[in-house]
Amino acid sequence: MHPRKKAIVGITGGMCSGKTAVAKEFERLGCNVIDADEIAHKYLDKTSVKSTIIADFGKEIINPDSSINRKKLAEIAFSTKEKIALLNDIIHPMVMKEVEQRIEQYKNDQNTKAIILDIPLLLEVGWENRCDKLIFVDSNENIRVQRAKTLDICNKKQFKLREKFQISLDNKKNIADNVINNNSGISELRRQVFNIFSNIVDNG
């Protein structure tokens, strides 16, 4: 008997829409989550990567303990399209190679219900073609801006600037197979995730 095919589900949405919260709910239901941010942070700590980034973005991105200040790096990177491309050229190939390795690993894990990709800018890097399903996490802009401030990610001006460099939310929403509304509490989010999960697992 052949092992059941594991669906690969990509999560997309605007900044601070709650993509990671959705991924965590899928994880609770027995899915394996691949968090590209977590992988990227690991590579940022590698000496060779760190020295390249410092050379390209300047010493002001370094913390007193010699680690990279990710907030400062993001502020500089998102100032122009060229700088975002430069940072992606450094980090992106290593991260996506590891994402592929983890996909292959989870495909062979009989306990994995589905594989969830929590990849910032998933559509921008062309990974929608790698997914069997796409979920768009919808959340009002004022809620997302407030989350960004609360989490000390960026202020409203920087928020607007970052979103300007991304594919429009309408386009992302239009190509998604499912939309999750994340303007309410965790119980409503959990209910929506469970409904989608049931459909994905039942239909393979």
- Integer Cα distance of 32 and 183 in angstroms: 25
**Is residue 116's pLDDT more than 90?**
yes
User: Mean of the pLDDT values across residues 187-198?
Assistant: 96
Q: Which CATH number fits domain 7-199: 1.25.40.420, 3.40.50.300, 3.40.710.10, 3.40.50.150?
A: 3.40.50.300
Q: Which of 2-6, 155-159, 175-179 has the lowest mean pLDDT?
A: 2-6
User: Mean of the pLDDT values across residues 184-192?
Assistant: 94
Mean pLDDT of the chain: 90
Is 172:138 a contact under the CB 8 Å cutoff? no
Query: Which one, of 61, 41, 16, 60, lies nearest residue 160 by Cα?
Result: 16
pLDDT 10s digits, 86-105? 998 999 999 999 999 999 99
For the chain, domain boundaries: 7-199
Tokens representing 39 are: 């992988």
pLDDT at 136: 96
Tokens representing 95 are: 């991260």
